[in-house]
Structure 1
Amino acid sequence: MLLLPELLNDWPCTIIGENFGQEVCGITEDSRNVKPGFVFVARRGKNDDGASFIAEAVERGAIAIVIDRPLPSSLSTSIPIITVLNCQRFLSYACARFAGNPSGKLTIIAVTGTNGKTTVTHFIGQLLKCMGIRAAVIGTTGVFIDGIQMEFNIPEMTTLPAEYFHPLLKKCEEEGMTHIVLEASSLGLSTNRLADCEIDVGILLNIGSDHYDEHAGKENYINAKKILLKDAKQVIVNMDDEVCVQMSKFSKGPCTFFGKNRLADVCIPQGKSLVCYGKDEGAFQLSMPGHFNRMNAAAAISTLLVLGFALNDILPHLSRLKLPAGRLQRIEREGVVVYVDFAHTPDAIEAVLRALASVCKGRLITVFGCGGNRDKGKRNEMGELAVFYSSSVIVTSDNPRNEDPLSIIADIVEGFGENCNAVEVEPDRRSAIRKAIFRAMPGDIVLIAGKGHEKIQHTAEGIFPFSDAEEAIRALFKKQMGGSQKLITNPFTER
């Protein structure tokens, strides 16, 4: 049991109102989640002001309101009104305190970077399991405990808000987990979602061109990533990324570097299946293509080494690593290979295309688009890269959100140059996928990029079910059936 005075004991605030000594049953910033005994934090959000929902929270049984600005003059309530300097920061503190500060009892590994967070967290989780360590992986694709996806009543977000995050850590602790591997997004870091999480190892993978609009520029985006370096007890940094190397100077703890650079602490030389760590070295094999996946593996290896495991104990397990859903997810039928990948930045799509081009025996056909209400500057660059590596490209809609899909496509097409015969525009994503697969011959590769694991299509008209992998399966089956309209789900095993 935690009483309201105990919750506020170490937090500067001013209080007015009655019934101050009540028991706290929960903390939330969403008035719809308020239950009797809850504290409602009236945070001002990007689109809504929590103060507008105070009356609803009181009606639902809130025992106190937390706010960081003057209370609306029209509001009258007898429950305690707690004024703090920053609602966002208080919410993080209070949720951690209410859950019993579980991060202090766990080994927390946080991964940030523009590309590769999901893959690296899953690689680390898989290696820990191989070492007999019980671990949970939390991120874009959900929550995995001991490698098995679990269902929790939490939002689908890369980095969870504090009111969901700390109770989840507590649940993992109660279930016997000792290690947590999580994705730390720039937005999650900049909005204090991890402010009261004790991070043992922070990993910085790369800095690319994404999310600049959300942070009002590249500098703010980089500053958000720096938060992890400042908070983590020790850090692991990609030495091949010059921006990351400069950022590492802000680390307060010891720093371990990985990369193809021979000066890196953990080195995987370009083109070699060899890991060098000090005087130790050893060969390894991965089941997936691409130098970027070798670097993802290097980040995971570095993490295990920092945690105290020996290189010779780690290497035998690398061949067992599997990519998470939507990351170079391979689907094949009758000699036609389709890859579904989340690549939605210039760096990511170039890395994937380069990897596939190196193993493609026939044509490389690429289907992709760009999300709406996101960084417009990357669109023509992604178009240019797609044409450079592909035999043909079909430009389509991704998640247009509130933007006109044709306007987004026009931005992409600028990167192709004039009179490019290798490019076709098909705004309907389902039709684009089917066109690409129906044209493919044995030996060809079709890449469907941008949405990966996602199960929805976000448009101005609403959010609708849509899965690139499922659409690819249907198209391959229809192709085999000679264009029959009969559809089947999962008619074969995905590799």
Structure 2
Amino acid sequence: MYLIELLRNWPCTVNGNWRDVVIRKVTEHPARAEAGSLFVARKGASYDGHHAINEAITNGADAVVIDRPVSSAMISAWSAAGTAVITVPDSSRFLSFCAAELAGNPSHDLKVIAVTGTNGKTTVTHFIGQLLGGMGVPAAVIGTTGCYIGGERLDIDIPPLTTLTAEYLHPLLSECRARGVTHAALEASSIGLEKGRLTDCGIDIGILLNIGADHFEDHGGRSGYIAAKKLLCSLSDQMIVNEEDAVCMEMTACCEVPVHRFSRDRFLDQSIDGDTAARLPAGLHNRLNAMAAASAVRLLGFPAEAISRSLGSLTLPPGRLQLAEQYSRKVYIDYAHSPDALEAVLKAVTGLNPRKLVCVFGCGGNRDREKRPLMGKIAEQYCDHVIVTADNPRDEDPAVIAQHILAGVEKPHRFTVELDRRKAIRQAVSMSEPDDIVIIAGKGHEAVQIVNQDRFSLSDYSEAVAALDAIRSHTRT
């Protein structure tokens, strides 16, 4: 697309040669800049794209976008290098618009369902994909675990974000469209909504699952977090809301688009019977997740009876109550990393009547400190023994994080601290006996652990399998 076409209806000032410039790609990452690309110098929380303009131009960018004053000397230097310099009111907003335009606005050709909530986004989007697949509909699922079409994960280079930035999202939707996809289920995180990543994505149905304690610090507190989640209401043509969550109901009370409700026993106009409920994945939280997904598919026009029949075949995505089992010992790996999610998972496995329940978990560093003692208290309530370990400590001392968790417990003798996550997992599995259940919570499908700025390979599932194998070897000996 000619640059002049991109700028046609956009308030801006332009310096340098721009009339004959053809743009094939937009990016905010200077390393991805190349000939035919437009570099958007966006300012983030810890990164300022203005500092990378020279790098982007060196890499071949034909145009750069800024939204703050720079010296006339710098603009002259960039223009002299043959680069068009465009000043707009808001770089982030322009990036979103430009990415959608260059990709051909693929969301306009798809039925898009966006799912938000503190917990359950990944599960609900995968459930939607499975239900649509059962109806013969080619559907994509995009979120925390990657991009799936027809249940198969695409081998595609996208960042590991819950909600992709516009730079990646719209080209991915275009790729899905080219592969015959007609429906897409997306995860909408609070950060993604607040940062405008979905602003230029047409959303047919928005789903509001629940509001719990997570990511408050990213939004300046609970009210900011709720306000970010509520943005989905203004982006969607219709909303589906969990009527069992009072905060969600309040958030949609003045919604300007149609609002539909679901509960543990009903998806829109269809109630489920006991047999159907018994065939759903374990836990009340997954029952609600299933009803949310069924509501979306029903709202798309598919028969309630066909949806009800398909509910019993739903399977959880990777890292959600994922089971490793040997020698009558069950180890469940789950992504639960908030108080509500941890309690939901522990309730679910308690319902399986374990002889003893052991939990391994930690809390991530550099965020949400107030949830740490709450999670310690919840683990104490449900578990016979808890091993506190490192999650993704990032720049924080994991020993300090562990102490924050322990501050919420009243029976510390039931807790052990082992900050090496591999050792913690093996310790929990080795101390288990037949008919016990071990829960490893917090990282789920993730295959890395983040310590300071480094990423180390670590899979909870693989470590659990290895620990179970060690028990087998010991038994044989």
Match of 1:66 in 2: 65
Contact 1:364-1:446 at 8 Å conserved across structures? yes
Q: Could you tell me how far 1:35 is from its partner in structure 2? A: 0.8
Which residue does 1:51 correspond to in 2?
50
How far apart are residue 461 of structure 1 and its match? Answer: 6.1
- Corresponding residue number in structure 1 for 2:125: 121
Looking at structure 2, the residues matched to 265 and 156 of structure 1 have their Cα atoms a distance apart, in angstroms, of 33
Give the match's secondary structure for 1:104.
helix
- 1:219 deviates by 1.1
Mapped to 2, the partners of 1:64 and 1:477 lie a distance apart of 57
1:319 paired residue number: 312
Match of 1:411 in 2: 404
1:252 Cα offset (Å): 2.3
Any conservation in 2 of the 1:226–1:247 contact (CA below 8 Å)?
yes
The answer to whether the 8 Å contact 2:13/2:86 transfers is yes
Q: How does 1:78-477 map onto structure 2 within 5 Å?
A: 78=79, 79-260=83-264, 265=268, 273=274, 283-417=276-410, 419-460=411-452, 462-477=454-469
- Measured in 2, the distance between the counterparts of 1:144 and 1:158 equals 14
C-alpha distance after superposition, 1:302-346 (max 9, x if no partner) = 111111112111111111100000000011001000000000000
**In structure 2, what is the Cα distance between the partners aligned to 1:460 and 1:284?**
44
1:249 deviates by 2.4
Unaligned runs of 5+ in 2: none
Q: Distance in 2 between matches of 1:424 and 1:253?
A: 50
SS in 2 for 1:111: strand
Distance 1:386 1:293 in 2: 19
Give yes or no for contact 1:437–1:446 (8 Å, CA) kept in 2: yes
Task: Determine the C-alpha separation between the residues in 1 that align with 2:334 and 2:41.
Answer: 39
Distance 2:2 2:18 in 1: 11
Residue pair 1:259, 1:266 contacting (<8 A) in 2 also? no
Question: What TM-score results when the alignment is normalised by the length of structure 2?
Answer: 0.96
The C-alpha deviation readout for 1:123-175, integer Å capped at 9, x for no partner, is 00000000110000000001100111111111111110111100011111111
Contact 1:239 1:261 in 2 (8 A): no
* Partner amino acid, structure 2, of 1:152: I
- Report what 2:23 is aligned to: 24
Question: What is the Cα deviation at residue 74 of structure 1?
Answer: 5.8
Q: Is residue 2:40 matched to residue 1:37?
A: no
How big is the shift at 1:260?
3.8
SS in 1 for 2:412: coil
Query: Structure 1 counterpart of 2:98, which letter?
Result: A
Shift, 1:289, TM fit: 1.1
* SS of alignment partner, residue 108 of structure 2: helix
Q: Secondary structure at the match of 2:262?
A: strand
Counterpart Cα distance in 2 of 1:72 and 1:202: 44
Q: Specify whether residues 50 and 106 from structure 1 end up closer, same or farther in structure 2 by C-alpha distance, changes over 3 A only.
A: same
Instruction: State the secondary structure of the residue aligned to 2:253.
Output: helix
Contact 1:226 1:250 in 2 (8 A): no
Q: Matches of 2:87 and 2:331 in 1, distance apart?
A: 55
Partner secondary structure for residue 415 of structure 1: coil
Aligned-pair CA distance for 1:112: 0.3
Deviations 1:430-458 (A, max 9, x none): 11111110011110000000000000010
Change in 2 beyond 3 A, CA 1:60/1:477: same
The alignment partner of 1:233 has SS state of: strand
Q: Is the 8 A contact 2:99 2:167 kept in 1?
A: yes
The whole-number CA distance in structure 1 between the counterparts of 2:441 and 2:24 is 44
Tell me, yes or no, if the aligned pair for 1:260 and 1:268 is still in contact at 8 Å: no
User: Is the 1:43–1:49 contact (alpha carbons within 8 Å) kept by the matching residues of 2?
Assistant: yes
Q: Aligned residues: percent identity?
A: 48
Note closer, same or farther for the CA distance 1:27–1:74 as it changes in structure 2 (3 Å cut): same
Q: Is the 8 A contact 2:264 2:287 kept in 1?
A: no
Q: Is the 8 A contact 2:38 2:63 kept in 1?
A: yes
Give secondary structure in 2 for the equivalent of 1:385.
Answer: helix
- Per-residue CA deviations over 1:51-101 (Å, capped at 9, x if unaligned) read 111111111111111000012466221122111111000000000011111
1-side partners of 2:106 and 2:256: how far apart? 23
User: What is the SS of the residue equivalent to 2:203?
Assistant: coil
Deviation at 1:50, TM superposition (A): 0.6
Bigger mean CA offset, 52-61 vs 191-200:
52-61
Report the CA distance shift for 1:228/1:250 in structure 2 as closer, same or farther (over 3 A).
farther
Counterparts in 2 of 1:421 and 1:135: CA distance versus 1, 3 Å:
same
Farther-moved stretch of structure 1 (453-462 vs 385-394): 453-462
- State the 1:18 CA deviation: 2.1
